[in-house]
């Protein structure tokens, strides 16, 4: 039988509602009970209960406190997240602005990289990349400018009418610039037919080093020439020389030094391997360019020159006369023309042979070259006929020059090819001038030619002038 031993819940009916709940006098209590053994080993239940309304309020207060704490923690986390995000946005925005500046080519403003966090390290790497990119762009720009200069110089070389001396001067300038030399020069060989060229400082120490390098380059080439292989015809790098702190390089021009030698020098800094290779390559290219220019000049000369006499041929004669007539009309100047024919030239060929006739033509042509002024243009007109175009010369001046040529030819003592004496030679001349004797190019030739045949009919070995043309009304 159950019995209540003691209670603090007051009096009233006690009705269990559920495990842990007890209703006493109409009030609901909640708690816990524990069964133990009494002194007489009878079961005793000990319970601790609290009125349900007070417990509910305590639980509500606890829940409110926990919820408030959670809300505070969430708010703090959200604020911290916003702070972090804004910081990240600022850093990313700065990187984005820096990237846009780089895209526009502005390397003047680096990214701020203070601190030791990942963004600071990233900023430092970004700045290093920017510096390297700027240096690369500057290098590319320098190389672009160098390419432009090289292309411009190549254009200048072609615009220089393929003149070998112009090519040599240009090669000297390019070698000096490419290797940062203080002095450069080109010394032509006796067979090279080039003019010496110098560039830069003319100090004795530099010139002495240039001479030493030139001797070393020529000695290397002589040693290669003695080698029993094709090495003698292959371009090679010359050994650098040093003289009292001056460094110099030299390389031959041409496979067998037939053009000469080119050399460069500077003080205080030896030439690197790349500079030596570049210089050797330039020397080879310069030799090829000069040889090409020489060949072009020779072909061009042959196309306008009479092979036997060395005078202009008839095609060049007409070109010269046309140019002078046009210039006369433009500037209201005079042009003189001398036409000449060697007297009895057929008899020379028939009596002494064509070799003798060729020798007569050569000697007569030499008289024309010796008597003519620098601006005059002597030519072989055809067969034994020759002519001289006389710029800025009136009829009287043409007569005087023709008379000097006539006297020079008459004074010739041309030896016979068989060695048996000499061959007497004379010539007849006809002179005309523009505008006194003619009004145009063809009329000028016709007037001089008519005067020439009058000289032939009058006994030869004489000078006749063309008839004047009436002045235009």
> Which residues are catalytically annotated?
384
Q: How far apart are CA 402 and CA 392, in angstroms?
A: 15
Among 351, 365, 359, 353, CA closest to 427: 365
Q: Is the dihedral of CA 451, 454, 459, 460 positive or negative?
A: positive
Distance CA(35)–CA(45), nearest Å, equals 4
Q: CA-to-CA distance for 188 and 165, rounded, in angstroms?
A: 10
DSSP, collapsed to helix, strand or coil, labels residue 302 as helix
Q: For residues 264 and 278, give the distance between their C-alpha atoms in angstroms, rounded to a whole number.
A: 12
E strand or H helix at 44, and its extent? strand 43-51
Beta bridge partners of 238: none
Helices (H), 272-394: 273-304, 314-331, 345-352, 354-371
DSSP conformation letters of 407-460: HHHHT--EEPTTSSSEE---EEEEEEEETTT-SSHHHHHHHHHHHHHHHHHTTS
In angstroms, the CA 100 to CA 107 distance is 10
């Amino acid at each position: 039988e159950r019995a209540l031993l003691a209670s603090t819940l007051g009096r009233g009916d006690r009705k269990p509602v559920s495990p842990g709940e007890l209703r006493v006098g109409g009030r609901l209590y909640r708690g816990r009970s524990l069964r133990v053994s009494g002194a007489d080993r009878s079961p005793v239940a000990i319970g601790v209960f609290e009125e349900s309304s007070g417990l509910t309020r305590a639980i509500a207060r606890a829940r409110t406190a926990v919820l408030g704490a959670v809300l505070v923690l969430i708010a703090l986390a959200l604020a911290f997240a916003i702070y972090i995000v804004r910081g990240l946005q600022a850093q990313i925005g700065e990187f984005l602005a820096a990237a846009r500046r780089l895209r526009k080519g502005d390397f003047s403003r680096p990214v701020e990289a203070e601190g030791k966090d990942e963004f600071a390290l990233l900023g430092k790497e970004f700045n290093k990349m920017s510096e390297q990119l700027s240096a690369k762009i500057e290098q590319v720009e320098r190389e672009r400018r160098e390419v432009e200069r090289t292309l411009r110089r190549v254009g200048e070389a072609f615009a220089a009418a393929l003149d070998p001396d112009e090519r040599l001067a240009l090669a000297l300038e390019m070698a000096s610039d490419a290797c940062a030399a203080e002095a450069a020069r080109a010394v032509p060989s006796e067979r090279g037919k080039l003019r010496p060229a110098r560039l830069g400082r003319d100090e004795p120490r530099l010139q002495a080093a240039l001479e030493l390098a030139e001797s070393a380059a020529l000695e290397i080439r002589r040693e290669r020439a003695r080698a029993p292989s094709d090495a003698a015809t292959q371009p090679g790098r010359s050994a650098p020389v040093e003289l009292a702190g001056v460094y110099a390089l030299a390389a031959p021009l041409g496979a067998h030094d037939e053009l000469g030698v080119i050399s460069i020098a500077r003080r205080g800094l030896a030439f690197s391997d790349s500079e030596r290779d570049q210089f050797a390559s330039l020397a080879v290219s310069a030799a090829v360019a000069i040889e090409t220019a020489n060949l072009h000049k020779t072909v061009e000369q042959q196309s306008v020159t009479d092979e036997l006499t060395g005078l202009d041929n008839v095609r060049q004669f007409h070109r010269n006369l046309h140019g002078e007539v046009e210039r006369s009309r433009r500037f209201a100047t005079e042009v003189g023309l001398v036409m000449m024919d060697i007297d009895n030239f057929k008899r020379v060929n028939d009596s002494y042979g064509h070799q003798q006739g060729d020798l007569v033509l050569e000697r007569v042509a030499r008289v024309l070259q010796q008597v003519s002024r620098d601006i005059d243009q002597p030519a072989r007109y055809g067969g034994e006929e020759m002519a001289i175009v006389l710029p800025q010369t009136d009829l009287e001046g043409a007569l005087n020059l023709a008379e000097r040529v006539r006297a020079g030819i008459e004074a010739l003592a041309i030896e016979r090819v068989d060695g048996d004496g000499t061959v007497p030679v004379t010539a007849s001349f006809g002179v005309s001038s523009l505008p006194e004797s003619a009004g145009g190019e063809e009329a000028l030739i016709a007037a001089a030619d008519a005067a020439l045949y009058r000289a032939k009919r009058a006994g030869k070995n004489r000078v006749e002038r063309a008839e004047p043309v009436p002045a235009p009304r």
